[in-house]
Amino acid sequence: MATLTETDYTRVSTDTGEQFVDAYYTALDGSRNQIKSFYVPTAPIVNGRGVPHISYNGEVLQDASIFQERFEKQMPWTHFEPQSVNVHVMNPSMASLGDKPSKRDAERNMSLVVQVSGFVRLHERKEGPVRGFSDSMVLVPNKEEVGGRGTGKQDHGRRWLIQSQNFRFVV
């Protein structure tokens, strides 16, 4: 924990948040078969604390593949436009990393809170109806110990995954 400065935290959290938000909404619009790869794998529910927690317009889903299927099969054409994005570090140090952790490990040992405000155009380009939305997510690093498949030696795959999310139409 001590190895990262406040500047590091700001850089890692905001860069991560921005990149994640861009990739995530692009997938909702255009590569819906990728959606579940943005979420942590489903873990058994213990005392209502199952992950991922996906709350979408008030409906709770605890399995990203159900969420993906809804988008793939039922969701009309969408264009999500995140207009405002803000990110905080939630937990700066999720696990004890020993005496001398590498900077890379330390940068992957935090969880983040992301808040997005924007609009989604539905059904069709230009003339489809528009809804304002607000989306809040907690992101965790993609690591085996948090239930992910990891990014592998080559650092492939998504580095961050949604652990919990609350989405609402607000306009």
What residues make contact with another protein under the rule CB under 8 A?
6-7, 10-11, 14, 17-18, 45, 47-49, 51, 53, 55-60, 70-71, 73-76, 82-96, 111, 113, 115, 117-119, 122-123, 127, 129-132, 134, 136, 138, 140, 163-164, 166-171
Tell how many helices (H) and how many strands (E) occur in the chain.
3, 6
Smallest separation (angstroms) from another protein to the CB of 154: 27
Distance CA 37, CA 95 (A): 23
How big is the CA angle at 144 (ends 102 and 61), to the nearest 5 degrees?
130
Q: Which is nearer to another protein, 88 or 149 (CB)?
A: 88
Distance CA 139, CA 73 (A): 26
Smallest separation (angstroms) from another protein to the CB of 88: 4
- Please give the order of strands across the beta sheet that includes 160-169: 59-61, 53-56, 160-169, 130-141, 111-122, 78-91
Smallest separation (angstroms) from another protein to the CB of 122: 6
Q: Which is nearer to another protein, 88 or 152 (CB)?
A: 88
Smallest separation (angstroms) from another protein to the CB of 74: 4
